[in-house]
C-alpha cells in the first residue's frame, strides 16, 4: 500500500453526499475513533457531508502506529485533507479533537492559505491555557488505568477486558502524549467564527477556560453548555446536534 492510500484512510465518509455544499470534518477525543460520528449525518442538515477523521492506530488506520506529538499528526492530516477542500468546509473537534482541529486550522492558513468557514470546539480549554494536571501518559499500567477510570471516558467493561485494553492502551498513551507535550505558540487570531460547546458538569474544563477561546478569533464567538460531564457529546448528543444544526443553517443564511 502506498503512502497516499494510507493517508487517505484518515478521511472517512460513511454516507457520501456529492450534492452537499459544505463538508464537516469531525475529530474524535483521545482514544476515540471515527465511529463516534458515524450517525451524525442523520441529524444534520442535508447540505452537510459529514467526514469523520480516523487517526492512526484505530479503525481503518489500525495498522498505522499512533503518533505521539501534535505537529506531525496535524501535518499528516493536512496532507490528507487537501483533496477534500475543494468546497467550503468546517471543523468539529471534541476534547483532543478540538486541539487537533485548532492547530490544523492554523497550519492550513499558514501553509495553504485555506481556512474553515467555522470552527466548532467542544469540551476543551482554550489552547493558550496551560494544562494544570500532571502528565499521565508515562504512568505505569495500573496507575494509567486508574486515571482512565477517574476520567470516566472508558467504560468499566472495557477497562476490565484485558484483550481490549492491550489494544487500547498504546493508543490512549499516544493521545495523552499528544495533549501533554503540546506547547502553545502565539499567532494572529483566526478569521473564522468559533463556537464552543461544554458540559455543565464537566470537572475537566471550566466555563472560564471555554470562554477564553474568544481570544482565538477576530470574528463571531459563541458558546453553549449542555447537561453532562466531559462526555456530554454522548449523553447530550441530541441537544448538541440540534445546536450544531442551527449554527450550520445560520452560516448558509449569512453567507
Is residue 95 among the annotated active site residues? Answer: yes
Give the Cα separation of 56 and 67 in Å (integer). 7
The C-alpha cell at 108 is 492550513
The answer to whether 73 and 65 are in contact (CB under 8 A) is: no
DSSP labels, 121-172: EES---TTSPP-SPP-TTS-HHHHHHHHHHHT-S-HHHHT-HHHHHHHHHHH
**Nearest 10 degrees: CA dihedral of 40, 195, 89, 103?**
-110
The answer to whether 234 and 222 are in contact (CB under 8 A) is: no
Of 95, 122, 206, 238, catalytic = 95
Catalytic residues: 95
Amino acid at each position: 500500500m502506498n503512502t497516499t492510500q494510507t493517508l487517505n484512510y484518515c478521511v472517512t465518509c460513511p454516507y457520501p453526499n456529492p450534492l452537499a455544499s459544505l463538508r464537516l470534518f469531525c475529530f474524535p477525543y483521545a482514544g476515540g475513533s471515527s465511529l463516534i460520528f458515524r450517525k451524525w449525518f442523520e441529524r444534520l442538515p442535508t447540505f452537510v457531508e459529514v467526514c469523520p477523521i480516523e487517526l492512526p492506530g484505530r479503525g481503518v488506520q489500525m495498522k498505522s502506529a499512533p503518533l505521539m506529538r501534535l505537529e506531525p499528526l496535524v501535518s499528516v492530516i493536512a496532507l490528507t485533507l487537501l483533496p477534500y477542500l475543494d468546497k467550503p468546509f468546517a471543523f468539529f473537534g471534541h476534547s483532543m479533537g478540538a486541539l487537533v482541529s485548532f492547530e490544523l486550522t492554523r497550519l492550513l492558513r499558514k501553509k495553504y492559505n485555506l481556512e474553515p468557514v467555522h470552527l466548532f470546539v467542544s469540551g476543551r480549554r482554550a489552547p493558550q491555557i496551560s494544562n494544570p494536571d500532571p502528565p499521565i501518559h508515562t504512568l505505569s499500567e495500573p496507575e494509567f488505568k486508574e486515571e482512565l477510570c477517574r476520567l470516566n471516558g472508558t467504560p468499566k467493561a472495557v477497562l476490565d477486558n484485558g484483550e481490549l485494553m492491550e489494544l487500547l492502551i498504546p493508543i490512549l498513551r499516544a493521545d495523552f502524549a499528544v495533549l501533554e507535550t503540546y506547547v502553545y505558540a502565539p499567532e494572529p487570531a483566526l478569521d473564522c467564527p468559533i463556537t464552543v460547546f461544554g458540559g455543565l458538569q464537566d470537572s475537566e474544563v471550566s466555563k472560564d477556560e471555554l470562554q477564553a477561546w474568544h481570544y482565538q478569533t477576530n470574528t463571531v464567538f459563541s458558546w453553549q453548555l449542555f447537561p453532562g460531564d466531559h462526555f456530554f457529546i454522548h449523553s447530550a448528543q441530541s441537544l448538541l446536534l440540534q445546536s450544531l444544526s442551527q449554527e450550520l443553517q445560520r452560516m448558509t443564511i449569512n453567507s
